[in-house]
Amino acid sequence: MGILGSKFQSPSQGLEDIAEGTSTNRKHGCECKKRKRNVPCDCESEQEEDDGLLDTPRRKKLKSTSRYIYQTLFLNGENSDIRICALGQEWNLHKVYLCQSGYFSSMFSGSWKESNMMEINLEIPDQNIDTEALQVVFGSLYRDDVLIKPSRVVSILAAACMLQLDGLIQQCGETMKENISTKTACGYYACASIYGLDSVMKKCLEWLLNNLMTHQNVELMKELSAEVMELLIQSSDLFVMQVEMDVYTALKKWMFLQLNALWDGPIKQLLADADAWLCKRRTDLCEKEPFLDTEDGLPFRSVFKHVRLQYIINDLASARILERDNILPPDWLTSVYKSQWFAMLRTEFDNDNGPHEANKDEFERSSMRCGRKLTKDGDYCWRWTGFNFGFDLLVTYTNRFIVFKRNTLSQPCGGAVSLQPRRHLAYRLRLASFDSRGKLVCSRSTGYQLLTLEKDQEYVVMNLDSRLLSFPLYVCCNFLYTSPHSDQRPDSSEQESAALVS
């Protein structure tokens, strides 16, 4: 058994800044008013052409009540019975409208001193709230719809939360979910965590899981906090390109950017500069201890801990990079080397043919993550790099089919392959394509599956509908080749060995 190499490397109606003034109609007076009263006026009613049209309903556009209320009561402040002062600005408002807010409703209905005051000074403790946000939020109490710009949604949400306006909070959440992108994902996630919008946090994480590896971006990596990165790296839903080693590489670039925020260059140059920085640091400081054990490296330990090293150390070139970088503590690697060595021995001598019972928890925690980008429609065949315990799995995309093949004798292989009659594996395969903002255009998933393959057997994993395909197409797979919790099994073997010796 040996190394497997890769063959292929609705929106709401706009909120006008200035509503229509009531003086417009005065400027354009009706000429018919100058006529005698008995002269019919075409401006006030439609002229009837014949008696047959008398019963035909006619539609006449009237000025919107909501627009009138917004203009007259909010913008003009007519008949105001309370003044709200905040952040150096004043609003002449009305208690009957303010009571739509839970904040003001409690203030006016209780025994608070403000309940009888004509002027209230609001303290604004939240730095996300500004006067523009308050203008929008107060104005929302006087009209049916509000325009929330994606660039202003954080401030508006903060003000809506302070004033306890559930409807506006919900609208802010929908606006955020519709506008997640490279520029907004981190900011929206942080905002949603502050104001308790769990659905927005979930949507942001889904976007990041899909785009962190498939569309790597310098600015996005600079913004990602260690807390969010840890959530992404530990997830089996992370869309990985190509193998687990690429997850480690992405983390190395991210860590470099966190410590060198002023770095400004193309994404293609980032890895080379990160490696050069690590090398210079080791040379200048004569550091022999692993970087994660240093003061600068400690904040990143919890993130690197979730890299699935068992799928990196099995590749010789990758293992050498780990040793050269000297980022990880040696005991991390030692325990993984030991675990994988016993896993290999079990597949050889303990007849471990792979998982044959459903264990989704183990699959989520420790499955091998890998992926591939199909630039255009065509025929593809590849295998993912890594030591797969003698299970040489070929993946083919052709004629809208994705096929797994357990290669044993029919195709050349760089290492030894298992000749056991049957091998089992657990897998999940996902396909996705994205628009320019990283939003899912289409996606398919097999879900968690168990599969048994005989020697050189092929299996159609997915049959694709061409109408749903959009290229480039991203393929992401999770695999588990060995039995879950098998490291607990040697007890019986040890007992048998002891009996033989005695």
**Mode of pairing for the β-strands spanning 89-93 and 82-86:** antiparallel
Across 446-462, average pLDDT: 96
> How many distinct helices (H) and strands (E) make up the chain?
18, 12
Please provide the average confidence, as pLDDT, over all residues in the chain: 85
What's the one-letter identity of residue 478?
Answer: N
In sequence order, which residues have a C-beta less than 8 Å from that of residue 64 and are 6 or more positions away?
none
The answer, yes or no, to whether residue 80 has pLDDT greater than 90, is: yes
Residues of the chain with CATH 2.60.210: 360-480
Between 46 and 463, the more confident residue is: 463
DSSP letters spanning 77-98: -TT--EEEEETTEEEEE-HHHH
Residues 315 and 2: their CA atoms lie apart, in Å, by 9
Residues 54 and 470: their CA atoms lie apart, in Å, by 57
Residue of 429, 430, 433, 434 whose CA lies nearest to 469: 433
Tokens linked to 175: 């606006």
Q: Return the pLDDT at 323.
A: 95
Tokens linked to 314: 């099995």
Q: Return the pLDDT at 59.
A: 55
DSSP letters spanning 135-173: HHHHHHTTSS-----GGGHHHHHHHHHHTT-HHHHHHHH
Q: Return the pLDDT at 155.
A: 98
Residues 485 and 252: their CA atoms lie apart, in Å, by 30
Q: Is the Cβ–Cβ distance between 333 and 290 less than 8 Å?
A: no
Residues of the chain with CATH 3.30.710.10: 64-212
Between 20 and 101, the more confident residue is: 101
Across 366-393, average pLDDT: 91
Write down how long the chain is: 502
Q: Return the pLDDT at 377.
A: 92
CATH topology of domain 360-480: 2.60.210
Q: Return the pLDDT at 487.
A: 45
Q: Return the pLDDT at 55.
A: 54
pLDDT tens track for 34-53: 444 444 444 444 444 445 54
CA distances from 1 to 160, 302, 415, 486 (A): 61, 33, 5, 19
Across 269-288, average pLDDT: 91
Question: What CATH class is the domain 64-212?
Answer: alpha beta
- pLDDT band, very low/low/confident/very high, at 310 (cuts 50, 70, 90): very high
pTM: 0.82
Residues 203 and 187: their CA atoms lie apart, in Å, by 13
Determine what percent of the chain is predicted with pLDDT higher than 90: 70
Across 82-117, b (16+ Cβ under 10 Å) vs e yields: bebebeeeebbbbeebbbbbeebeebbeeeeeeeee
Radius of gyration of the chain (CA): 33
pLDDT tens track for 116-164: 789 999 999 999 999 999 999 999 999 988 999 999 999 999 999 999 9
Q: Return the pLDDT at 152.
A: 96
Q: Is the Cβ–Cβ distance between 416 and 387 less than 8 Å?
A: no
Q: Return the pLDDT at 209.
A: 98
Q: Which residue has the tokens 């695999």?
A: 479
